[in-house]
Structure 1
Amino acid sequence: MEKPVEPYYEVFLSFRGSDTRNDIADYLYHSLTNVGIRAFRDDEQLHVGKEIGPELLQAIKQSKISIPIFSERYAESEWCLMELVQMVECKEKWGQEIMQIFYDVKPSEVRDQIASYGKAIRSHITKQLYTDETIQNWKAALNKVGSLKGWKLKQRGKGEFTKEVVQMLLIKLKKNSLAVSNCLVEMDNQVDKFMEVIGERTTETQIIGIHGMGGVGKTTLATIIYNKLSADFYNCCFLSNVRDTKIETLQDQLISKVLRTSCMSITNGNEGITEIKERLFSKTVLLVLDDVDQKTQLDALVGADECRFGRGSKVIITTRDKELLKGVDFQHELIKMDFKHSLKLFSKHAFRRDNPPAEYVPLSKKALKICDGLPLALKTIGSLLNGKERRIWEITLKKLETIPNGNVKSKLNISFEALESQEKEIFLDICCFFVGYDVRIVIHIWDSYKFSPEYSLEVLEQRSLIKIVEGNRLWVHDQLRDLGRDIVRERANLKPEKQSRVWNHEEAIAVLQMKEGTKNVEAICLTFDHQSRCFFKKEEFASLPNLRFLQVECGDLDMNNVRHFSFTNWFRRNLPTLLNLRWLSWSKFIQYFPSTNSFQRNLPILQNLKYISWHEFPIFFQFTAFSLVKLAILDLSRSKITYEWEGWNHLKMAKKLKVLNLTGCYNLHRTPNFSDHKNLEQLILKGCYKLVQVDKSIGKLKHLVLLNLEGCRELQTLPDEMEELKALTELRVGRTSITNFPEWKGMEKMETLSTTYCKLLSECNLASCSTSLLYLDLSETSISELPFGNFGSLVELNLSQSSLRELPDLIKTMKNLRVLRMSHTPLEKLPGALGLLEKLEEIHVDSCRNLCGEIPNEIERLSFLRILRLSSSRVSDIPKLPESMTDLYLEYNVNMRCPNLSNLLNLRVLTLESRYQTPSCLATSLDWIGGLTKLETLWLRYDNPITLPSDFNLLSKLGKLKLCVHQLECPPRLPQNLSYFVIYGGRLMDNAVINLSYLEKLSFFEVYNCVQVQGLEHLKNLKELRLSCLVSQAKLLDLTNSKKLRRIHIESCPKLVEVRGQLESLEDLTLFNCKSLEKMPNPLSFKYIKSLYIDECQKLEEIQGPEVSENLRVLCVGDLPLLEKLPDLTNAKELEGLKIRRCPRQVEIRGRLESLKRLEIWGCESLRQFSDPSSFKELEDLIIRGCERLEEILESDEYRDLKKARILTESRISRGWWAGSHGENVPY
C-alpha cells in the first residue's frame, strides 16, 4: 500500500543529506516532532528525474515555514536548488516564511555564489543538464534567501542552537485562549481602558493590578485581557482562586505550565521561589494571578521587589485589596456597571432577552437600584426572579430593599434561602470542597438524596449560583463561595467543632486533636506538608461518627517528623469508627505505610465507601483493605499498576463501579477484563502511552457513556465489540495510531467524537451515530471524504488539517451547525448549500490553498454568522456578507476582486491582506471603512497603492491599527483613540508625512521602511517606540515629552544625528546601524535602564554620564570605532552580561563587576586590562577573541578568577540568554 501523503505540514526542512542528514537536520527534525510541530523532512528517495515530484511540491506549498539548511555542498544538489526556488515562489505568492540556517557557510557565500557555492553553480553550467533559465532561477533564489536574516550555526553548540530554533518556531505557531462568560455585557470600555495602558504586542515587562469589590467582574476582565494577549506568548499561565490555594501548589502549577513538565513537587515556599528564579528568569511569561488576598502570595510567585520573569513578561493581578498593589506598574479599578448595561445584563438573566417587558420595567429598575451595578448581583438576583410571577417579584424585592447597599452577601443570601433543602446542601458541599471538580464524578456522592442531584444542579445553575464550565468542571464565584462557607460557620455559631464541613487545615487539626468534634461534622479536609510536625495519634476520629467525606493530602511529608508514628495502629483504631465514610481521597499518603501482608489483612473494612481517589498508588498495596461492594468511583491516576497487578481480582467485588480513571498509568500495556463492571459509565485511559490492547469485554459495558483513550499512542485498533456500547455519548481517541473505524451499528447516542491527530486514520464510518452527534473533530487526520450520514444535530465540525477536498451535498442536512473549521485542508470549493445552514456562526477556511472559484452568494443568508476567516486561497470573488459579522479575516489573491464591506456595520475586528500587485486591486479605495463605526482593530496589508477615506479619523473605537502597505496615498488624519499603531513599508505619495502629534493615547508605535514621521515629540503616553529603515527621517529625534517611554529600538536611520530627551522611565534601548548618530542622552545614567545595545553607530564617540544606573543588567556595544572608553561600571551592581565587539580604541574595562556572569569581548585589539579582575566572583561564561594584548596577560595570577569560568567559543554564548530576558534581540 502506498504511504499516504501528509495533508499539511508546518515546517519544511531542506538540506543536503550527505552534509547534515545525520547531524543538525536530524537534531532539528526530532526536536520539532517531539514538541508537536509537524515537520516534513526531505527523503532523497523522492528525488527522481529533473523536476520536483508532486509529493515534494505539495509538502513545500502546504508548509507555513520553510527552513533551508545551507551547508558547504548544498548547492551541489540540483534538488536542493529546485526546492529553494519553490520556497521563494511560495514566499512571493503566498507569504510563506523562510527561516534559513547557515550551517558551515557565510551568508555572503550563498548570496553572492562565491566559494563552494560559486564552484557548484559553475559545475551545473558545465554539465549542461539544465537550461540557462533554470540556472538563473537557482542563482536568483540563492541571492534572495542569502540576503535574508537567518541563524548562523558555525561553531555553536547544536543542542543549544536547536532549542533556540524550536522555541522561536513554537512562538510563531502557538495560540492560547480561555473561555469567558456567554452572558458578557459590554466590557468593552473597561477592556479599552486597560489595553490603553498595557498596550498590545509591547515588549516591556509589566505588572498590572485590577482591584475592585467582589462581584464586580475582575476575573472576567482578566480572562478577556489574557485571551487578547495570549497569542503573542509561548508561555501562558492562568492561576485561578489564588486565595484558597497553597503557595507551594501555585508555584508548582506555574513552573509546570511554563516549562511544560510534570509536577515539580515543590515542598515549601522558599524552595519554590528558588525554582522560579532559576528556571523562569529567561522566560517571557503571560501570567494571571486571580483573587490574591495576601502579599506573601505575590512575593512567592512574582517577587517582592521586581518581576522574576524574562523581558516582555506581563503579570496581571486581581484582588479586592488595593493595598496589595503598591509598587505595580499600573492599577486599574474596575467600576460598577452603568444603568444601561446593568439593565441589559439583568434582563438577560431575568427574561432571557436584552430588555424587560414593558409591564416589568418599574420592577426591573427597582432591582437595578438594589444590585447597585454589581454584575454578580445582577446575574444572581435576575436568575432568582426568572419565570416568577409578579407577586413573587414584589415580595422578593421588598426583602432585598431592607438590606443596606454594600452588603452584597446578604443580598445574595436571598437566592440561597429560596432553595430547597437538598439544593442548599449540594451548594454548600460545592462551596467548601468541590470547586474545580468534574461534576460527573462528584454527583455520585449525592445520589442518596431524595431527588436526583442532576435536578438540583440544574436549579443552582439556572439561579446563577454555580456554573459548569469547560471540562464539566464546577465553578462558583468567589463571593458566592464565601457566602456558602459563611453560612456553614454561622450555622455552627462560629465553632469549628460544630460545623458540618471543616475545610481549613488548622481548624480541622484542632477539632481532631482536642477530640471536640461532634456528630455534626460530615466532611473534613487535611493538608500536610514537609513542615507538618503534628500528626494523628490515637482515636481522633472517634467523635465524628457521621463523617462522610475525608480528604488527606500529604505532599512531600518529612518522615523525620512522623517516624515515631504507627500508621497501622492509627488505621486500626480510627477507621472502624467511620461507618458512614463515603468519600476517601489521599495523595502520597499510603506510600509511607509498611508493605506487610499482615498489615493489609488486619485492616478494617469500610462498608459504605463510594469514592476512592489514590493517585500514584503504590504497587504493593492491595484493595483487600477496603470493602468495594458500594464503590462507585475509583481514581488511580499516575500509578504504576500493570496488567499483571493482583488488585484486579479484588476489584471484581466492585459491581457498582461507575467511574474508573487510570490516567497516566504508563506501565499498562493492556486493559483488564471488564466483565464484572457492567455498571461502568466512565472509563478513562488517557495518557496510557504503552497501551496496545483494549480487552474485548468492553463490549459488555452497556452503561458506558464516556471512553477516553487520548494519548494512547501505541494503540492501533479498537475491538469490534465496541459496537455494543449503545449508551456511549463521548469517545476520544486523539493522538492514537488507529487507522480506521469499523462500522459500529449500535452507537446511536454518540454526541462527541474526537479523533484529532490520528495521523493514520483514513476511514471513519459514522452512519449509525451521525444523527446524535453534536461535536465531531476529525482534524489532523488523513480522512479525505466526509463520512456518510445524517448529521442533523451537529453543532461543531472540525476538519482542519485533514485531507478533505470537497464538502458533499450532505452538508445541507447540518441544520444545527454553528461552527465549521476547515483550515489548512486541500478543499477546492465551498458549496452553495452552506447558505442553508441558518444557525452557522463561524466559518474557518484559512490557508486552504486549493480553494478556488467564488464564495457562494448564499452565504448572505447566514444571519447569525459572526466570524469568517479566509486566506491563502484562489477564490475569485467575495459576495455580499451578512450584517451580523463581527470578525473578518480576508486575504486577497491574484484573481480576487476587492469587495465593498460597507454593510458590515457590526464589525469589530477586520484584517485585509493583499500580497500581490494585481490589476483588480490597483489604487484600491477603501472609502467604505469610514462607516464601520464599531471597528476596534484594523490590519491592512496591501502591495497595491491604497487610499484611506477622509473620514477615517471618525472611527472613535479604533484602538489598534496596523498598515503593511506598498504605497499609501494621502495619509488621512488618524483616529485619535489609537493606542497601538504599526506601519510597514509605506511609500507616501507626494512626499507626504505621517503626523502623530494629536494621538494622545498612543502607547506603542512601530514604523519600518517609511519615508518620514512627524509629531513624535508630542506623544506623552508613548511607552514603546520602534523606528527602522527611515531613510529620510529628520536629523533630530526629540523625545523630551515622552517621559513614559520604557523601550526604544532605532535601526537603520542613516540621517539621524541626535536623540534628545531625559528618558526617566527607559528600561531598554537599542541603537543599530545609525551611521550618522553623534549625540544622545547618556542611557547608562537612566535610573531604570536594564539593557543597552548599541551597534554600528560609527560616529558615536562616547557613552558617558555622571553615574551608571544600578539597575543595568546587560550592556552590549559593538562596531563603535571612535569609542575610547566606557564609564566606570562599579555602580552597576546588577550587571550580569557584558559584550564588547570591534571597539578598536577601547583600552580598559573599569569597575568592580561583582555580579557579572557572562563576558564576551572580541576584536578589541587595544584592550589590555580590567581595572579589578578580582571582582569577577560570579563569572560563569567567558569568550575573548581577537584581543591580542588582553590574551597575553590572562595567564597571570591576577586573572585567576577568570579561569574558573567556562572558556567558550564565540557561538557557545547563548544568543537566547542575551535576548531572552535581558534586552533586545540581536539581529540573527
Structure 2
Amino acid sequence: MASSLVIELVKQAWKIVEEGLKHERTAQDLGKTGDEVSPMFAEIVELAKRLDLPARQIESLQDIMKQMGEAHLKYSKIQCWDCCCAPCYKAELDKADKAIKDFISYRLSLQTAWATMEILCHIETTTSDQASSHRKPAFKIDRETLIFPELPIEGLNSLLMQNLRSCLLKDDGDKVFNLTGFAGSGKTTLAIQLCVDQQIQGFFNGNVHFKSVGPKIESSGEQLASELRERKGLLVLDNVEPGSEDLVEQCWKQIPSDSKILVISRVVLPGLGSPVAMTPLGEEDAVILLRHFVRPIGTASCNLPDRRILLQVVECCGGSPMAIKMIGRDLRGKPSEFWRQYLRKWSPSQGLSILDTHKKFFDHLHQSLQDSEEYKAISDFFMDLCLFPRYQIIPVSALLDMWVELYNQDEDGIDAMNVVHSLTAMNLADRVVQTREGGSSSDAEDDVDNQFLTQHSILRDLASRYSKEQAGEFERKRLIIETNGNDIPRSECFPQQPLRGIDAFLSVLKASILQRRVAARILSITPDQNDTPELRSIIQGAEAQVLVLNLCTHEYRLPEVIKEMKNLRVLIVINNGLRSTQFGNLKLLGFLKALKRIRLQNVSVPCLWEMKNLRKLSLYACEVNPAFENSSMKISEAMPNLVELKMEDSPDLVELPAGFCDIVSLKKLSIVKCRCFTTLRQEIRKLRNLEFLRISYCHNFKEMPESVSELQSLTFLDISHCRTLGKLPDDIGNLQSLTDFYMSDCLKTDDLPSSIMNLTRLQKVICDENTYRFWEVVKISIDFDLEVKTAIGMP
C-alpha cells in the first residue's frame, strides 16, 4: 500500500517536472508569436483610429497586446531558486497564448469581416464635431456601376484626377463641374476615387455625398441636396442624362454658396458649370492599369512580358480603361506567347480591332449609343468620320463640303458646326481649334478652316462597324477601301480576307460576287501606289456622290473608274505625306458633269481642267503656279460657274491670276497664309457679285488696289495680319454694303482714309489695340450701331 502511494507520488512529481521542462520552449514560442504579431497589432490599432472605429474595439486590441507583453515579461525568465515554479509559470504562458489565439481566431476575424462589410457598403465621414463618436454614412457605392472596384489611383488618369481635385479644392472659382466621357471611360470610378480622397474629405469636412440619378428621376432637387443644406459640402450626381438640367439647378439653389456639385454624364450638358472631358489614359497610367488586371487574383506579383509588348497591348486598347480591363483579364496568368498571339490578331495583316475580338465591349458601346436619343440625329455624321484615316485630324471644312451635298446643309457652315458641336458634346469626337501664327483664338473660332476633329481609334472602328452593318451585298452608303502595300488590301466588302496583293484581292473578289461590282454613295480610298485602275473591277461608280482620296505617296494618278462617276458632286483629296503629291490624270475630271466641290490638300496641280458646273474650289498647301501659268485653257472657260475660291498656305502663289477676275459668278475669295502673295489685280473690279474678300496672314501683301472700292456687293472684308500692307484705297468708303471689317495687326490709325467714316452699314469691326480707340470715336460720331472688338479681347 505504501509502496503504491510512493509510486503514485513519483509519477505526479515527474509530470510536474515534465511541465517545467516544457516551460522554456513555451516561453520561446510565445516570444516569437509576440514579435510577429505586435507590429501588426500596432498597425491595426492605427488604421482603426484613422477609420474612426468605436473606442471599445481599439481598447480590446490594446488590452490583448498589454496582457501578452506582461505575461511574457513576468513568466518567461526563471531563476535557479524558482525552478520549482516552472510549471506554474508555464500555465500562465499557456493562458496568454490561448487568449491571443482565441482573439485572432474569433473576435478579430469577426471584427475584420464587420469592418470590411461596413467599408464596402458605406464610406463614412466624420462630422464637424470631432469628439463625437456618432458616424453618418456620406454616400453609398453601388459596386455594380464601378468599372474598377479596387483600382490603383495611379492607373486612373492621374493627371486629370489631379486637375479636377485642384478645381474642387479652390474656395473661389467655379462651383459646378460637368465630368463627361464616353461609355467605359472610367468617369464614375474617377469620381468615387475623388470622393474618398483625403484632401477632398478634409476640405469639405467629410460632407461628401454621392448619388446616382439615372434616367428615371425619383427624387427632387430639394431631396438630393437635403444633406448639404446646412454646411459646406460636395454633391456628386452620377449618371445624369440630358433633360435633367433643371434638377441640378434645383440642387444648386438648395445648398450653401461654398458647396460644390460634380455632375457626371456621357453627354456634355450645356449650362451646367465647367465641362471636364475624360481623356484616354496616358502611356504610364495605361501600363499600370494593365499590370493591375493581368496579375492573378491573390498574388502580389506575376511574370509579365517585357515592356515593349505591354506598350503594344495598351496602344491597341487606345487608352480605353474598359478595353484594358477586358484585355487584361484575358491575358491574366498567360505566357508571353499568348500575348504575342493577341497582338497578331490586331496587326494590319489580320485587320481586326478590339471590337471584333471582344463582342462584350462592342455590345457595351453599342448599347450606350442606342439608348441615346441625341445619337439618332447625328448617326450618319458620326459614321462619315470613318472615311478618313485613323490617327489623322479631320478638317471640318472637308466635312462641310460633304454634308452640304449629302444632307442639304447650308453653305455657310452653320449646320455643319452644329453637328460638330453635337459630336463633341457626345464625346464621339474631339474638336481642335488651330490658331495661326500671330493670330488669336477669337480669329480661329470665326473661321471654319481652323476647325478640326480628332477621333479615338476605338470610336473610329465603331463608326466603321456601324457603317458595315448598314451595307447590303452590292449596295451601300459608304465603301472604304484601303490598300496597305504588301499587306492585305482591305475593304468593307471583305474586311478579313487573308489575301496579299491587289491582283489576288481582285481575283477572289470577282469570283466571290460573280463579276458584280459594289455601288456606294460615298467612297473612301486609301491607296499606296501611283495608279489603281483595277478599282474599276470593284466599284460601280455611277452611284457615287462623294469621293475621298487619302494619299501618302509622292505621285498619284486618278483611277479610270472616275469616268463612271456621273453623279459625283464632291471630290476631296488629302495628302498626309511629308511631300507634295504630283497629281496626274486630271483630264478625267472633265467627265464629271455633276461635280460641284473640289478640295485638294498638299498636292501639285499641273494643269487646269474643264469643270463647267464647279461651284467651289479649295486649295490647301497646293502648288498652283504650273496650272495657272502653263495651261492653254482660260480659267474663266474652265470654271465659268465658280462661286467660291479658297487658297491657303500656297508656297508659290504670287498674285491672283487675271482669269479669276473674269468669273463674274464668284462671290467668295479667300487667300490666306500665302507668304509669297503680293498683288491683288486691278481687274478685281470685274467681280461685281463678290460678297466676301479675305486676304489675311499674307506677310508680303503690300497694297490693296483702288478698284476694290468698286465692289458694291462686298459685305465682308478681312485684311488681318497683313503686316506689310501700307494703306487702304482712298475711296474705301464707297463700299456701302460692307458690314464686317477685320483689320487686326495690319494698319495704324494714320493709314485709315477719311472716307472710312462713310461706311454707314458697318456693323462689326475687329481690330487691334492700336486702332481700337479710333473705332470707338467713330462709333460715337456716327449714328448707327457698331460693334468694335479687339482680336485678343476688350482692353
Q: Quickly name the TM-score band, shorter chain normalised.
A: 0.3 to 0.5
Larger radius of gyration: 2
> Please, what TM-score do these two structures have when normalized by structure 1?
0.30
> Please, what TM-score do these two structures have when normalized by structure 2?
0.44
Q: Which has the higher contact order (CA 8 A, sep 6+)?
A: 2
